[in-house]
A = this chain, B = another copy of it.
């Protein structure tokens, strides 16, 4: 069976150069080589196997992940991997674990909020993992509203210490990853209290466990918060609970880059601009958007390959049945998701550029672009994670019954992915932030303030309020400017209409509260426009490789036109297009599906995922699905014995009538 390729026919149909597309997807030849090398390294190392993940109980699962993390650290060391390589290696292990928080939140928090001395001291320890840290912000009763945190850090000038305390049950830290069973340290967010005065929420480095025996230090209660969604899923992570009973730390463990507390308990702001945190936010959210494109492309790979393997109905004269990918309903559900994966990839690439731009401006003390950059990244985080979560589940459904098996990989992927809609900003809360910014932008249009960046189009207000789409035939929708104009008109008219409605309320705040559901829709319309326009921008670049650009054009059009169909109501209600034009868009969409169909498998091959990383029998590269599903079934613990455990106690008495003898 080795060496078969049941998808060979599909691959031969491709009309473009897959190797070149792989580089486009990866972002560069360098990025491609790196991910290719690291993913294969992980895939070939038996310690990193994950096919038994859903069969382990919580303790065994957790322990196996600890083993992997340690093994990864060892490999990085042995092979002398670069930071970039090490990050990729950990990434391909594909299990949430404490190192995500250590490297992804603890270290950056110290780097961003610590003074130079603090960085010197703590980063050194952290980088060698002589301490392990987590990020303890959220509390049992407080999440989205960080300003509502209850944990206190009270300055004791007699001892030059802060007293960290959990005054209520709801102030218990709750959720931080890596906290429950592993971290020795945490950056703890707490209210700074000096002589009874509340100075708001700040970060403090607090040691939690002994470096000798790993026992919690005095005054510290810490543990895991329990099982989460999915079998393996996030259960490899020790999201934790933490309570402080008057725990004392030296004054110099408050992160003081921005606000300093002196020996006497005086607060002084440094000259470091407070806007610095925006830079970090753009960075973190850009990563989340990249992750969305990855999670989505994984799910799409599984659904696409399996849809070519799976056949149902339509056999004539005893011939083969139809591949389900040939059904238009299947295409209509799948291909827009394939297009979204590429769309999110390119917008995340652009966000990477934006991060560089923001950083450069910050360094030059130019804060003019910050609000726009902040709104845009918040919106894209929300848009792409929500779409990806839904898409993974849709891909699972596209696989019919077999998608429900863990061996399809999709249930695990979903369970592991969905919290991205909640952490780093609840997606609805984020949309409302974007909406607030958009309404403000529109309200300032008259005042001569020019909208910048992704809101620049609003500067063409008059045109956007008046323009009429000139699409007359289905092919006209292939014109990027037709698409762009329709999306701009829709978004702009929606903002304007909301801004007008807001004026009917006694106060802007009341209006905003009352209309918030509409405002969230406005924010989505604006963010979709960003994604569409960045995809179109990408296509203006030179892209080498036979047929590659044509495929991307098709995907860009599918992304835009499928959104146009889905949100038809908004395009029509704002008169951005006519019903007739909407119908032409739909016709064009069907044509595009036919063009993508022969390239579908090659388009997912271009993501270059190993079978290990995919973790899906349905999505296997070779399409050898049925024998492998069959083989895998027998590995379930229930199959260890032919007669099931429990037969004697619970089944036999039933069959023998021994449970209800009284009535026989």
A interface, CB within 8 angstroms of B: 54-60, 62-63, 66-67, 69-70, 73-74, 77-78, 128-132, 138, 140-145, 148, 169-170, 172, 174-175, 180-182, 184, 211, 213-216, 223-231, 234-235, 238, 241, 311-313, 315, 321, 327-333, 389, 393, 396-397, 400-401, 403-407, 411, 414-415, 418-419, 421-423, 426-428, 432, 513-518, 520, 565, 567-575, 579, 582-583, 586, 590, 626-627, 629-630, 632-640, 642-647, 649-655, 657, 659-660, 662-664
A627 near B662: Cβ-Cβ < 8 Å: no
A63 touching B646 by the CB < 8 A rule?
Answer: yes
Interface secondary structure of A, over-half rule = helix
Q: Which residues of B sit under 8 angstroms from A57, Cβ to Cβ?
A: 55-57, 60, 637
* The residue from B60, B144, B411 contacting A230, defined by CB atoms under 8 A apart: B411
Q: Least Cβ distance of A374 to chain B in Å?
A: 18
* B660 adjacent to A74 (CB under 8 Å): yes
Query: How many Å lie between the Cα of A459 and that of B223 in the bound state?
Result: 66
Complex contact B645–A63 (CB within 8 A): yes
Cβ A224 vs Cβ B633 within 8 A: yes
CA of A630 to CA of B142 in the docked complex: distance in angstroms?
Answer: 14
On whether the beta carbons of B226 and A405 are closer than 8 Å, the reply is yes
Copies in the complex: 2
Q: Inside 8 A of A663's CB, which chain B residues have their CB?
A: 77
Task: Specify the chain B residue showing the minimal Cβ separation from A663.
Answer: B77
Q: Which 7 A-B pairs have the closest CB atoms?
A: A568-B569, A569-B569, A229-B411, A332-B517, A57-B57, A181-B644, A70-B650
Chain B residues with Cβ below 8 Å from A664 are: 128
Mind listing 13 A-B residue pairs with CB under 8 Å?
A: A66-B650, A67-B649, A77-B660, A144-B313, A169-B627, A226-B406, A228-B404, A228-B411, A238-B644, A397-B422, A518-B586, A565-B569, A568-B568
Point out which of A143, A175, A626, A633 has the most chain B C-beta atoms below 10 A from its C-beta.
A633
Contact A312 B145 (CB under 8 A): yes
**C-alpha gap A308/B110 in the complex (Å):** 37
Known A58-B636, A66-B651; 17 more pairs at CB < 8 Å: A59-B637, A62-B645, A74-B660, A132-B651, A144-B312, A144-B313, A215-B642, A225-B636, A226-B405, A228-B404, A228-B405, A229-B230, A229-B411, A234-B404, A568-B573, A572-B572, A573-B579
